[in-house]
Copies of this chain bind each other. A is one copy, B any other.
Amino acid sequence: MMSLGGQASDTPKNGGLSRIQERNRSLILDAALSEFSRKGFSGATVERIAAEAGMSKSNLLYYFSSKEAIYKATLAHILEVWLAPLKTLDPGGEPARELAAYIRQKIEMSATFPEASRLFANEVMQGAPQILPILEGDLRRLVSEKSRVIQDWIDAGKMRQVDPVQLIFMIWATTQHYADFSIQIKALTGKDLSDPVFFEETENSITTLILNGVGLTAPGNDD
């Protein structure tokens, strides 16, 4: 799990978590994700998180010593999975296939974990008070590395010249938009990514646009 710098773990004493602890922590983090992503840090209340996690406020505070601690843990909990897809971009693969796969994964994340996406967006929009160090560290390194991969494809003439970092931004922007702005999208189209048809349609649109945009052709969709 990606560390958010706080002073060590926030769980009672001993190293290993008991069954109950693990269960409760998990319940809390789920509830917290729901609450924080909907209301933001300030709008969320510990009481509601506790209620949603099915325990008393005091008991919740037995597991996480403060609202901020819950928030940090929630972010950390999410960050790993949220940034995972990019790591799979394989230098040895075909650009079209690799990019298409990456885009698909990102859209799937938006469909499956829209709350995580919104939590992340919220955090960044507030100035990334908690995760700025991670953005400037781990994420920056990861993006550099993957940009290199893309640049190599470009240098090998496999795709059109484009700033790789900007390309990554555009993939993030387009895919996450469907999670972060899902209310707007629903208001305008009546649909969201939970609708398989709309999901397909969206994936096609984004993939086609971006692959065409960088001079590639979408690979046959065989998964």
Contact A183:B213 (CB < 8 A) given known A43-B41, A188-B139: no
Contact A38:B170 (CB < 8 A) given known A135-B188, A162-B209, A180-B121: no
Q: Are A177 and B183 in contact (CB under 8 A)?
A: no
Q: Are A125 and B180 in contact (CB under 8 A)?
A: yes
Contact A140:B188 (CB < 8 A) given known A126-B39, A173-B177, A183-B128: yes
Cβ of A212 to closest chain B Cβ, rounded Å: 5
- For A41, A121, A189, A209, the residue with the greatest tally of chain B CB atoms inside 10 Å of its CB is A209
Q: Which of B124, B143, B167, B183 contacts A209 (CB 8 A)?
A: B167
CA distance A176 to B174 in the complex (A): 10
- For A39, A42, A125, A205, the residue with the greatest tally of chain B CB atoms inside 10 Å of its CB is A125
Q: Which of B177, B178, B185, B213 contacts A210 (CB 8 A)?
A: B213
A104 located at the interface, meaning its Cβ lies under 8 Å from any Cβ of chain B in the complex: no
Q: Are B184 and A124 in contact (CB under 8 A)?
A: yes
A181 located at the interface, meaning its Cβ lies under 8 Å from any Cβ of chain B in the complex: yes
Contact A167:B205 (CB < 8 A) given known A42-B39, A184-B128: yes
Q: Mark A198-209, 1 if CB is under 8 A from B, else 0.
A: 000110011011
Residues of chain B within 8 A of A169, CB atoms compared: 174, 177-178, 181, 185
A54 located at the interface, meaning its Cβ lies under 8 Å from any Cβ of chain B in the complex: no
